Amino acid sequence: LSSSASGASVVAIDNKIEQAMDLVKNHLMYAVREEVEVLKEQIKELLEKNSQLERENSLLKTLASPEQLEKFQSRLPAEVLCPEEQSPGAAAPAQHSGGSAV
C-alpha cells in the first residue's frame, strides 16, 4: 500500500513539475512575441526614417554645387565615404546593444 501511495506522490509531483514548466514556457513565449512586435514596429519606423533621410540626402546632393559637395566630402571621415572597406566584424557588437532581458 505504501509503494502505491509513493507512486501516486511521484506522479503528482511530476504533474506539478509539468504544469510549472508549461507555465514558464507560456510566459516566455508571450514575452518573446511581445518583444518581436516591439522590434517589428521599431524596424518599420527605422525603415521609414531611413527612406526619408535617403530622399533628403538625394535632394541635397542635387541642389548642392560641385564645390559644396567637394568641401563637404573632404570633412567626412573615410569610413563614412567608403563603409564597404571597413572590416566586417567592426559593426557586429553594436547589433546586440539595446535589447531587453526577458
Per-residue model confidence as pLDDT tens digits over 1-10: 456 778 889 9
On the CB side of 7, how many CA atoms lie within 13 Å of its CA? 4
Alpha helices in the chain (DSSP H): 2-63, 66-75, 78-81
Q: Which cell numbers in the block locate residue 81?
A: 565615404
Report the pLDDT value the prediction gives residue 93, as an integer from 0 to 100. 44
Statement: the pTM of the whole predicted model exceeds 0.75 = no
Report the pLDDT value the prediction gives residue 77, as an integer from 0 to 100. 76
- Find the mean pLDDT for residues 69-94: 64
